[in-house]
Amino acid sequence: MDGLFQKYLRPKKIPSTACSGCGLGQVHKRVLLAIDGLGLGVQDVIWGTGIGCAGRQTFNAWKGDNFAGTHGRVYALAAGLRMALPKEKKIVLTVGDGDAFGIGLKHLLHCARRNLDMTVIVADNFGYQSTGGQFGLTTPPGAVTDSSPYGLSETGWLGPDLDVLEILKAAGATFLARHLSLDGKPSVDNLKLALLNPGFSLVHFIFPCVTHFGAVSLAERDKPLILSWFKSVFNPAYGQDRGESFQKLKDRINPGFLKLKRGLYHDASGSRPDYSELLKAWTDTFRPDRAAPKEPGRAGSGEGAEP
Amino acid sequence: MDETFSIELDFEACKGCGYCLETCPENVFDPGPEHNAKGYRPPVVARPNSCLGCRSCFMVCPDFCLEVSRVPD
Ligand code: SF4
Ligand code: SF4
Ligand code: SF4
C-alpha cells in the first residue's frame, strides 16, 4: 500500500468489505487523489455518508472526523455542520443513488437551494444493491432486477429526456459533474473543482456493481466484461471488437439509451453566496457579543468582555 | 535512458478481480497460481521490465493494493 492511502485511510478498514471487482473503490480512490492533489490533510475534511454500499465502505475508512447519517438524511446533518463549522473545513459526503436521488432527494435539493458549501459524491450502482439488487431511481429501463423480474417498465432520473443533474442545477447547485468510476485525470480535476467551490457541489459517478447489476441485470459473471459494458455507457461504440459475448451484454441492456453527458455539467462556482455564511453574519447582528472581534480588546475577544 | 518502474501488488489485500490484468497495455501481469487468506487469487507481476509507468492498473484497481512507482536511476 502506498503513502497516499497510509496518509488518509485507516489500515484496519482496507481492504474494504466491498465485493471483488466492485467499482466503488475506484470512486473512493479518485476522491482521495483530488484531496491529496489540493494539499488537504486529514484534519481539513469531515467525511459523512448515508447508508448502503457507497457509504459504509468509505466514511469510516477516513482517518479524520467522519459520521454516518440515517438513510437520505445526511444532507440535513451536513447542513447543520456547515452552520457550525469554520469555513475552512471541507464537508465531503459519499452517498449512493438511492440515498441522494431517492429518499434523500428533497434534503439534497434544499442544500443546493441554500448553496451550502459541501461536496456530495454520488456513487451510483444503478439500484439498491446492498439489500440484494432491487431497482432504484437510476436503474436502466428494461433491467431485470430482484424487484423487476420481467424487466423494469419505468424510467427513473436518468433517461434520454430526463436528467437529475438538470433538477439540481435548477435548484441552485453551483458545481455539477458526471463521470464513470474508470475516468482518469478529468474526473480527479472535476473533483478538485468541486472541493474548491465555496458552495454546493455534486459529482455523480456511475460505477459497476458486479454482484447484482452485473450478475443479474447483465446476466454476466466475467468481471472485466461487465467493466467493458460500463465503458460503453458513455461511449456506445466501445467494445465492438470484443466479440459475441460482449454483444450479448449490449443486447440485454443497450448502454447508449441514457444519452448522458459526461464530464463537467455546470460550473457556477462562487456565483451565489453560501447561506451558512449569510446566516452567521445575520445572527451576529443580533448577538454582537458573539461576533468575531474587529479589533483587540473588543467584546467577544474573551478578555475582559464583561462590564 | 529508459525509465524502470516497480509494481507492488499486496497479495493479501488484492481481491483478484483481474482488472489490472485486463487493462495493462504491456501485459505485465499473469494470472496467479495461489489463493490468499481471503480466498482470492491475485495476479502476479510477471514482466515488470515491460512496464511503461502509465498507472492504468493503479487507476482501474478498485482496492488499495496496487502501486506503481518509478525506480530511481
Ligand atoms: S453489492 Fe454491488 S455495489 Fe455493493 S459492494 Fe457488492 S458489487 Fe459493490
Ligand atoms: S503502469 Fe501501465 S504498463 Fe505498468 S503495469 Fe500498470 S498498466 Fe501495465
Ligand atoms: S485490479 Fe487490484 S484487486 Fe483487482 S486483481 Fe488487480 S491488484 Fe487485485
Rounded average pLDDT over A143-148: 97
Instruction: Identify the CA nearest to A260 among candidates A161, A153, A124.
Output: A161
Question: Helices (H) and strands (E) in chain B — how many of each?
Answer: 2, 4
Question: In CATH, what number is assigned to the domain containing residue A50?
Answer: 3.40.50.970
Whole-number Å distance between alpha carbons of A156 and B56: 33
- How confident is the model at residue A2, as a pLDDT? 60
Query: Residue A305: what pLDDT?
Result: 42
H or E element in which residue B23 lies: helix B19-23
Alpha-carbon span B52 to A233, nearest angstrom: 28
Q: Which of A31, A70, A24, A23 is CA-nearest to residue A47?
A: A31
The pLDDT of residue A21 is above 90: yes
- What are the b/e assignments for A125-148, b being 16+ CB within 10 Å? bbbbbbeebebbbbbbbbbbbbeb
Backbone angles phi, psi at A120, to 5 degrees: -100, 125
> What pLDDT score does A77 carry?
97
Give the tens place of pLDDT for each residue, A57-91. Answer: 888 899 999 999 999 999 999 999 999 999 999 99
Using only the alpha carbons of chain A, give its radius of gyration. 21
Which residues in B lie closer than 8 A to residue A5 (C-beta atoms)?
64
Domain interval for residue A27: 21-274
A277-295: pLDDT as tens digits:
999 999 999 987 776 655 5
Domains: count for chain B: 1
Q: Locate the chain A residue with the closest alpha carbon to B64.
A: A1
The pTM of the full predicted model, rounded to 2 decimals, is 0.94
Among the partner-chain residues B19, B61, B67, the one whose CB lies closest to the CB of A223 is B19
What pLDDT digit, counting tens, does each position of B22-73 carry?
A: 999 999 999 999 999 999 999 999 999 999 999 999 999 999 999 999 998 8
Contact B64 A20 (CB under 8 A): no
Please report, for the domain that includes residue B18, its CATH number: 3.30.70.20
pLDDT at A78: 98
- Which pLDDT value is given to residue A296? 55
Q: Which ligand is nearest to the CA of A53?
A: 1
User: Which structural domain, as residue segments, surrounds residue B17?
Assistant: 4-71
Q: Which pLDDT band holds residue A304 (cuts at 50, 70, 90)?
A: very low
Are A107 and A118 a contacting pair, CB within 8 Å? Answer: no
pLDDT of residue A299: 46
What does the DSSP 8-state code read for residue B26?
A: T
Atom number in ligand 3 closest to CA B29: 6
The strand pair at B29-30 and B44-45 is best described as antiparallel
What is the mean predicted confidence (pLDDT) over A231-235?
92
Q: Is the pLDDT of residue A303 over 50?
A: no
Q: With bands split at pLDDT 50, 70 and 90, how would you rate the model's confidence at A173?
A: very high
Hey, which residues 23-42 in chain A have their CB within 8 Å of chain B?
23-26, 29
Mean pLDDT of chain A: 92
Task: Calculate how far, in angstroms, residue A69's C-alpha sits from the geometric centre of ligand 3.
Answer: 31
What is the C-alpha to C-alpha distance for residues A78 and A118, in angstroms, rounded to an integer? 8
Residue B72: exposed, middle, or buried by beta-carbon count in 10 A (0-12, 13-18, 19+)? Answer: exposed
Report, as an integer, the average pLDDT of A30-49. Answer: 97
Residues β-bridged to residue A9: A62
SS3 B56: helix
| Cβ contact, residue pair A15, B22, below 8 Å | no
Question: What per-residue confidence (pLDDT) applies to A307?
Answer: 42
**Domains in chain A: how many in total?**
1
Which residue do the cell numbers 439534497 mark? A108
**Cβ-Cβ contacts under 8 Å, A242 against chain B:** none
- Does any domain span residue A184? yes
HEC string for chain A: CCHHHHHHECHHHCCCCCCCCCCHHHHHHHHHHHHHHCCCCHHHEEEEECCCHHHHCCHHHECCCEEECCCCCHHHHHHHHHHHCCCCCEEEEEEEHHHHHHHCHHHHHHHHHCCCCEEEEEEECCCECCCCCECCCCCCCCCCECCECCCCCCCCCEECCEEHHHHHHHHCCCEEEEEECCCCHHHHHHHHHHHHCCCEEEEEEECCCHHHHHHHHCCCCCHHHHHHHHHHHHCCCCCHHHHHHHHHHHHHCCHHHHCCCCEEEEECCCCCCCHHHHHHHHHHHHCCCCCCCCCCCCCCCCCCCCC
- Looking at the DSSP assignment, which residues form a beta bridge with residue A148? A145
- pLDDT tens across B4-33, in order? 999 999 999 999 999 999 999 999 999 999
Domain membership flag for residue A1: no
